[in-house]
Amino acid sequence: MITLIVFLIALLIGLPIFLTLLLATLVFVWDSNLSVLISSLPIQLYGALDKSGLLAIPLFMLVGELMNRGGLTSRLMNAADMFVGGFKGGLAYVNLLTNAVAASILGSATAQISVMSRLMVPTMVEKGYPKPFSAAVTMAGGLLGPIIPPSMLMIIYGVVAYQPIALLFIAGIIPGLLIIASFALTIFLYGVVKGLPKGEHLKHRNVRRELIGGLLPALIPIVVITCIMTGMTTPTEAGAIASILSFVLGAFVYRAVKLKDLLQIFGEVAINTATITGLIAIASVFGWALTFEGVPDAMVGWMAGLTESPVIFLLLVYLLVIVLGMFLESISVMIVIVPIILPVARLFGIDPIHFGVVISLATLIGLVTPPVGPGLYIAMTAANLRMGDVFKAMLPFLAAMLLSMLVIALVPSVSLWLPAAMG
């Protein structure tokens, strides 16, 4: 109990999450009379990071940084507009399609929501779309990145849960497409009920050049997935290939990335990587201390006493992770909760790959829900709207997301069919 109190106090006073976890770990060790473990902490910290799968994190972060510098989003938006911009409510579909491709490359939902809020919301409002609806579409599209491969959340889950990252990437493809379809249906129904402006293509000076320039970045996730699905490369090697492709596009095709920019880009990637790997190390030590004291076994017994249904268990996991996600960042939730909950999932006979998809989806809800929801704050600030207006407009998309999550939980083959078909 004292560990939980210390954790909540440290969280509320605004300590960085890795310091919060470290403090909670030390308090737990002290309160449980496990001082003998203190001397082993450095070894555990090092061991938590001695995993080859972690090499994929800086590589895919580098892809995101390079493509962000290369003006990826605006180019993808122009290409998407040529495909779906002419439909009724076309700009909403352009927003969604651009997000679906760009967020998977950038690897950060909040970064993508920030970019798209500045780029798409003013354009949509100018064309007659309601401002809250425009912000909501942008937030919904930003949720696609962490599930559509290559996914940073999947990499972290694979490392923490000792699962093959390649299979997790493949398992996220169909759920990602399902969510895209549910968001597109939501836009269509909104247009039927409340009406949306008639489709109108944006002005393009050179259609051929802009179409090619917009589709080239979309090749990056296709190359990554193809290499992994065919067994040609590991996810880490695919990340290296994607990094090279991103540099070639940014430096020689778009001419937006200069050699002098690389030092700053590498510095940002290093800082972001250190933040995530530091979290992984501290959370692994926390999980190790909990395991030493038998907390996961007690959690298994408690959860087994609540229900014998795997579906009910997954719904309880959804609820738990969504609540935690309202206060913690999605990566932090993933790192803290997986070592404790995964043994319970195994007890219920739930496939760890399917469970990875389920828990990754659950962590996303907190991005766009009060009180912390970073995506919500970014969108409302960029659109100059009140939180209530933005959140109200987001509710239909949240309903679509939750319905898709329910389908994925009830039908494991949505996640597992493609990995099984690929052998």
Q: Which long-range contacts does 313-321 make (Cβ < 8 Å, 24+ apart)?
A: 313/344, 313/345, 313/348, 313/350, 314/350, 314/355, 314/358, 314/409, 315/406, 315/409, 317/341, 317/345, 317/358, 317/359, 317/362, 318/358, 318/362, 318/405, 318/409, 321/359, 321/362, 321/363
Residue type, 199: G
- Whole-number pLDDT of residue 281: 80
- For the chain, residues with pLDDT lower than 50 are none
- Whole-number pLDDT of residue 203: 66
CA distances from 8 to 167, 171, 182, 327, 375 (A): 35, 34, 36, 10, 22
- Whole-number pLDDT of residue 400: 95
- Whole-number pLDDT of residue 11: 66
pLDDT tens-digit readout, 181-222: 999 999 999 988 888 887 666 666 666 666 776 778 878 888
Which residue bears the tokens 């979290």? Answer: 279
Q: Rg of the Cα trace of the chain?
A: 22
Domain ranges of the chain: 34-421
**pTM for the predicted model, two decimal places:** 0.82
- Whole-number pLDDT of residue 180: 92
- Whole-number pLDDT of residue 255: 84
- Whole-number pLDDT of residue 44: 73
